[in-house]
Amino acid sequence: MVAIARRHVILLLAFGLLAIFRPDVANAGGCWTAPYSCHPGGDINPSTAATYEARYMAYAELAWRDFIALNFPAEITPQGKLEPTPSKEHGLDYHAGDYSAVWQTWPEARDIFLPGAAVPAGFGTGHQAPADCLRKDASGRLELTDKIVLDEYVQADRMGPVIDKQGQYVRYGLSFSKPMFDYITAHQLYSTEGQAAMDTNNPDRDKQTVQFPAGQYSANDNPAMTGSIFVKSSWKILDASDNKSSFYRSQAYVYDQAGGAFADEPTVKEQCSLKPIGLVGFHIVHLTRSAPQWVWATFEHVDNGPWLNDFTSTLKRGYTFFDAAKCPASGGVPSCAFDTVPAAPWNPQRPGQTPTQLVRLAAPGKLALAVNEQYNNRIKTTYPDSVWANYFLVDVQFPTNVKTAGGGQGAAVPNPAYPDGMPATSFLSNSTMETYIPGFFHGEITPSGNPIPPDDQMQTLPSTGAVMPFSSAGPHTVSGGADRTTSSCVSCHSDAAMTTGSSSDFVFSLSRAQSKGKLNLSTSSTQADGGSGARILTRHEASSVVEYVMGTRKPEEPTGK
């Protein structure tokens, strides 16, 4: 009897301790009890029905799961250091939306592709900040910081900056998940030498030797199966006039490189300061087994600007990048020029610059709106005061035509006939990151005077009424438009290449890799050119030019910097 009683006591103690330390009990506010996992998904369920709506909804839900998981607060050690894992104590309502999210612990492009191809610091150990931002430690090495460094302000395609109502430029950041970081470091792809080694058996550079790890579906969101993700974020610098409580907020080093984003604007002086920032846009790019062209999703803050449709009724909001007082509706359209590229010079330090009058042209697709409705309701139910209720999925882009070995259950590979995967949606843009890339709209006419056919239009009927980003009842987008000439994530990134010239698996950043010898477009070549003066650019050189023109790549930094 005594022995049995002791056993009962031990069992009770064991179960009691288990209950106390079970994550979902012990951490009531943390990700484990949220309505969503705090880990990104790995892929859509392979058993998803082979219909457009089912696939679309599955990818849109994957995007939302990723968005929520990545934006959970990062774990903080007792010493106050950020860890690259989701907090077990805090949820999406943590600190009124002013914190550091998991993805902010990921290395940024500037942490990986270092001058002189230096070996990157370990994953999650902090960010390399410019000398102007931080002091050197005792060993002479620049201290790492847990604050992200925002050093870009010109949009892709070199379209220019976006300027908020206070005259501040929107800032951009680019971060990479651990599977990507591990792959890059394992193969030394942060250096041109490592990239050349990758292509040793690819002399014609016509094979894609880079194969980032793809995520795989698991019913329990196994974090080991997440696969590769990279994110691009856009931020506004907050000041006293902003409605801060509506934004996800953080602190970042806002850095201007001397000479500007492309080292071609001498009026920009080197400058760095720690500033409060609010998230206005967020791209998530996720490689999965079902989507070898990656899954591209983008989110926005609801107050960035009005939709063009909204001018057919009364504007109901104050906007971050649109001043209705200076541009009231007239005849159902804005009375001012909108989405206009700011005048040069593009210098964020220049006072008195004209704010961008940002008008959203493309509304989310109907199915995106349906998923927004579902997730927004769940966020509001679980976290009534969360800032994340102010963000919506603009849309998602995924391949519709791939080859799958083994009858549909295996990993998909690109169909050589459709290397872009024939993506749907064919048009995808974020108003803060691809502001100046238009589509075609109902009512527009071609230069020859013909109306744009419906299957080329961005916006379907009804053409009036305000867009409701969390409801599928309002006007929505058909996501049409002409690929490449407008905005297709996949079509653009399919040209990304390593410094060797071979494909870099849709990741432009690999062309930022440096070596001790600098790339010189006028003389360097990875292929024999017969020594003649005139020759064809290698793929990498073309990609470098594209990146330079697109504003996704900076010129090589001066030696010693």
Partner 1 sequence: MIKISRRDVLKTAGTIGGALLAPGLPLWSLAEAAPREKAPAGFVNVSSALLGIDAGVLNPAIRPDDISMADVFYGLTVLAGPRSIANLLAAYDVMENQHLRPDQIAQALLVSGNGPNTSLNGAFSRLITLMWLYGTWYGHTEITNIPTSASGIAADYQKDFVISSRAYKSGWIWRVAQTHPMGFSQFSFGSWASAPPSLADYGITLA
Interface with partner 1 by CB under 8 A: which residues?
50-53, 55-56, 204-206, 400-401, 415-420, 422-426, 446, 448, 450-456, 478-480, 482-485, 491, 494-495, 497, 501, 503, 539, 542-543
CB of residue 453 to partner 1, shortest distance in Å? 4
CB of residue 44 to partner 1, shortest distance in Å? 12
Between residues 18 and 536, which has the closer beta carbon with respect to partner 1? Answer: 536
Between residues 9 and 445, which has the closer beta carbon with respect to partner 1? Answer: 445
Between residues 15 and 52, which has the closer beta carbon with respect to partner 1? Answer: 52
CB of residue 446 to partner 1, shortest distance in Å? 6
Between residues 197 and 422, which has the closer beta carbon with respect to partner 1? Answer: 422
Which phi and psi (to 5°) does residue 432 adopt?
Answer: -100, -10
CB of residue 483 to partner 1, shortest distance in Å? 7
Between residues 56 and 230, which has the closer beta carbon with respect to partner 1? Answer: 56
Nearest to 280 by CA among 392, 379, 361, 195: 392
Letter string b/e over residues 83-96, b meaning 16 or more CB atoms within 10 A of that residue's CB: ebbbbbebbbbbee
Between residues 221 and 456, which has the closer beta carbon with respect to partner 1? Answer: 456
Adjacent-strand bridge partners of 75: 83
CB of residue 419 to partner 1, shortest distance in Å? 6
CB of residue 539 to partner 1, shortest distance in Å? 5
Letter string b/e over residues 393-415, b meaning 16 or more CB atoms within 10 A of that residue's CB: bbbbbbbebbebeeeeeeebebb
CB 128 within 8 A of CB 114: yes
Computed over its alpha carbons, how large is the radius of gyration of the chain? Answer: 24
Q: Which residue matches tokens 């990134």? A: 493
CB of residue 217 to partner 1, shortest distance in Å? 18
CB neighbours (10 Å) of residue 504? Answer: 28
Between residues 397 and 514, which has the closer beta carbon with respect to partner 1? Answer: 397
Displacement of CA 77 from its chain's centroid (Å): 27
CB neighbours (10 Å) of residue 536? Answer: 10
Rounded CA separation 204/459 (Å): 43
Between residues 193 and 483, which has the closer beta carbon with respect to partner 1? Answer: 483
CB of residue 482 to partner 1, shortest distance in Å? 5
Nearest to 87 by CA among 135, 129, 46, 31: 31
CB of residue 534 to partner 1, shortest distance in Å? 18
Alpha helices for 22-51 (secondary structure H) = 23-26
Between residues 77 and 204, which has the closer beta carbon with respect to partner 1? Answer: 204
Between residues 307 and 506, which has the closer beta carbon with respect to partner 1? Answer: 506
CB of residue 126 to partner 1, shortest distance in Å? 36
394 CB contacts (<8 Å, ≥6 apart)? 298, 299, 300, 362, 364, 368, 428, 429, 430, 431
Between residues 90 and 289, which has the closer beta carbon with respect to partner 1? Answer: 289
Adjacent-strand bridge partners of 284: 231, 297
CB 514 within 8 A of CB 192: yes
CB neighbours (10 Å) of residue 335? Answer: 12
CB neighbours (10 Å) of residue 420? Answer: 20
CB of residue 51 to partner 1, shortest distance in Å? 6
Between residues 51 and 523, which has the closer beta carbon with respect to partner 1? Answer: 51
CB of residue 262 to partner 1, shortest distance in Å? 21
Nearest to 238 by CA among 185, 288, 166: 166
507 CB contacts (<8 Å, ≥6 apart)? 180, 210, 212, 230, 493, 496
CB 252 within 8 A of CB 104: no
Rounded CA separation 439/482 (Å): 8
Adjacent-strand bridge partners of 278: 236, 249
Is there a cis peptide before residue 115, judged by omega within 30 degrees of 0?
Answer: no
CB of residue 501 to partner 1, shortest distance in Å? 8
Between residues 268 and 478, which has the closer beta carbon with respect to partner 1? Answer: 478
